[in-house]
Amino acid sequence: MSSSELHPLADEVSQHLTDPRKTFMMLVYCDVQSGKEDEFKTAFHPALKATVEEAGNFTYRLIQQANIPTAFIVIEHWQDLQSLDDHLKHPYLEKLLSDLEPLLTKPPRVDVFQEYVAL
């Protein structure tokens, strides 16, 4: 798959992977406007339910920082880049991203992690 066929976020993630066929994790940091935390969680709920059913997704969780309630992190674990790309092209995710944009104080930050396991 060429980078021109990838969703823009999947293309960005691909730049951090040594092998797009291997499992990887992402942390997506979201800073929400004060007073919009419940609206943010409500908007996220359908995507949380749907994503864990997707082939290639191992983990998709939203956590809220206890001492900074406007700070959220999405924890994602994917089988491979193709699985992430497929996820990003679902209509419910496009809606989520559109719904979240006005609730955020700045664009989300994404960190990509390669997984190393003892064999």
Task: Return the CATH number at 19.
Answer: 3.30.70.100
pLDDT in tens, 28-79: 999 999 999 999 999 999 999 999 999 999 999 999 999 999 999 999 999 9
Distance CA 88, CA 21 (A): 17
In a domain? residue 50: yes
Strand stretches in the chain, DSSP E: 24-31, 57-64, 71-78, 109-114
pTM of the shown model:
0.91
Number of structural domains (the chain) is 1
In a domain? residue 38: yes
Q: Is the pLDDT of residue 102 over 90?
A: yes
In a domain? residue 75: yes
In a domain? residue 119: no
Task: For residue 7, give its domain range.
Answer: 3-114
Average pLDDT, the chain: 93
pLDDT at 56: 96
Distance CA 32, CA 38 (A): 10
pLDDT at 85: 96
In a domain? residue 36: yes
